[in-house]
Amino acid sequence: MVENNNRASRAVIYSMKRNIKILLGLAAIVGQTPAVFAENDIKDNEFNPVNTGVTTLSITPDARGSAMGNLGAATDPDINAQFWNPSKYAFAYSSGGLGISYTPWLRKIVNDIFLADLTGYYKIGSGDNQAISASLRYFSLGEVMTSEGDGLMVQTINPYEMAFDLGYSRKLSESFSMGVVLRYILSDLSYEDSYSGETNTAASAFSVDIAGYHVGYPMIGRSECQFAWGFNISNIGTKVSYDHGANYAFLPTNLRLGANFMFPLADYNTLAFGLDLNKLLVPTKPRERDYDMSTVEGQEEYEAAKEKWETMSPITGIFKSFTDAPGGFSEELKEINVSFGAEYAYNQQFFVRAGYNYENAAKGGRSYFGFGAGFSLNVVRLDASYMLATAQSSPLDQTLRFTLSFDMDGLKDLLGKRRR
């Protein structure tokens, strides 16, 4: 009897470890922060984050954007424009480039969860006004142990989420460009518990991004400055299901609007300020507490609203997301995340950055400061960033990111000098 109880206890412990890690890696940190991590002054009935699937698609992959508080819709074009605004590639200064980014995720809690991203672009056409781009991102949840009913470990699984995309951007005028990205998404969180019969399957989806970028050069006094604005509607695509189609989740379709102003301080010195606004274009899932569940009418209303949400198409959900918050217009405003930051550059070789990202506590409370620096040579550039969360209990606190990028024009010049 005692041995059976011990086995049962071990089974519960193994199951808890597995589920807690999946919860931390996916729901709690990557996408929707649960109430345990939200600010203490948020009431339970006010905490209402927007729920999506494949939440890792929303994680910033590169060090430059994260250092400025997670912004990049209108910043100067760089190698990581595929995530922020792919239409910026048409205005890129170099004919091509390749970048590799790495982020150890939740390093305060675990040591085997990470995000890796590989991005590149290449200018095409004789007018230097078109570009093709591609990226591959891979988010690993590390090793997760599963067990039989007697508590003995029987297998180790390695859940992950990945996305591969191809993009095309083109200048439509001397100051405006647009871009489109086609993306394939795979979320493999599959496992099978032979003891309980519980199964979870891999989910896949296709999506598209549509982006635009405008840049101008106004004169302020005797100085020529740069002002740019941009937008990116990302992850417009199919739903995903992890349980053989019994339930579906929306992709994290997102609207990003941004502006950036850069001006010269002195010879070889520039300072830029940027602002991004983000809103998930995903309908809010109905909650029981918003209905009078003590009555038959209230229960029927809730079930009807839930069924409507579950069967809603992604396109309909995009338009519905602007008006469906239970708290009305004031809650819709809470769904807008604000990022603002600054970047100082010396001779486009040395960079210092800082920024702040704000998310309302009722929608997750993932607010933090970003800091970073970068150093660039003719061929290679290295950027790093550091995240400092405003809430001490946040598992996102002290997150590091690194980006190593290579410039194709610089590489060609280097090889040309060697030939001579």
pLDDT for the residue numbered 163:
96
pLDDT confidence of 314, banded at 50, 70, 90? very high
- The domain locations on the chain are 2-284+321-419
Sign of the dihedral through C-alpha 163, 164, 170, 171: positive
Top-confidence residue, 292 or 355:
355
pLDDT single digits (tens) 385-405: 999 988 777 777 889 999 999
DSSP string, 355-376: EEEE--GGGT---EEEEEEEEE
Burial class, 340, CB count within 10 angstroms (exposed 0-12 / middle 13-18 / buried 19+)? buried
Q: Is the pLDDT of residue 298 over 80?
A: yes
Mean pLDDT of 199-221: 90
Q: Is the pLDDT of residue 38 over 50?
A: no
Question: Alpha helix (H) ranges present in 183-258?
Answer: none
pLDDT for the residue numbered 400:
93
pTM of the entire predicted model: 0.86
319 token code pair: 């338009």
pLDDT for the residue numbered 25:
46
Q: Is the pLDDT of residue 207 over 90?
A: yes
pLDDT for the residue numbered 12:
34
pLDDT confidence of 18, banded at 50, 70, 90? very low
- C-beta atoms surrounding 312 within 10 Å: 16
pLDDT for the residue numbered 412:
77
Mean pLDDT of 133-143: 92
pLDDT for the residue numbered 142:
81
CA distances from 96 to 75, 173, 229, 232, 270 (A): 18, 21, 23, 21, 24
Top-confidence residue, 290 or 230:
230
pLDDT for the residue numbered 71:
95
Q: In angstroms, how far is the first alpha carbon of the chain from the final one? A: 83
Top-confidence residue, 293 or 90:
90
Share of the chain above pLDDT 90, in %: 54
pLDDT for the residue numbered 15:
39
The per-residue b/e assignment along 58-78, b for 16 or more CB within 10 angstroms, e otherwise, is bbbbbbbbbbbbbbbbbbbbb
pLDDT for the residue numbered 365:
85
Top-confidence residue, 205 or 15:
205
Question: 224 by DSSP, 3-state: which?
Answer: strand
- C-beta atoms surrounding 129 within 10 Å: 17
Q: Is the pLDDT of residue 356 over 80?
A: yes
pLDDT single digits (tens) 141-196: 887 766 655 555 566 778 899 999 999 999 999 999 999 999 999 998 776 665 55
Q: Is the pLDDT of residue 233 over 70?
A: yes
Q: What are phi and psi of 394, to 5 degrees?
A: -70, 125
pLDDT for the residue numbered 228:
97
Q: Is the pLDDT of residue 22 over 70?
A: no
48 token code pair: 């209402």
Question: Alpha helix (H) ranges present in 23-142?
Answer: 63-67, 81-84
Q: Is the pLDDT of residue 33 over 70?
A: no
pLDDT confidence of 199, banded at 50, 70, 90? low
pLDDT confidence of 34, banded at 50, 70, 90? very low
Class in CATH terms, 2-284+321-419: mainly beta
pLDDT single digits (tens) 74-131: 999 999 999 999 999 999 999 999 999 999 988 777 788 999 999 999 999 877 899 9
pLDDT for the residue numbered 154:
61
Judge contact between 182 and 160, C-beta under 8 A. Answer: no
Q: What are phi and psi of 31, to 5 degrees?
A: -120, -80
pLDDT for the residue numbered 75:
96
Q: Is the pLDDT of residue 252 over 50?
A: yes
Top-confidence residue, 419 or 319:
319
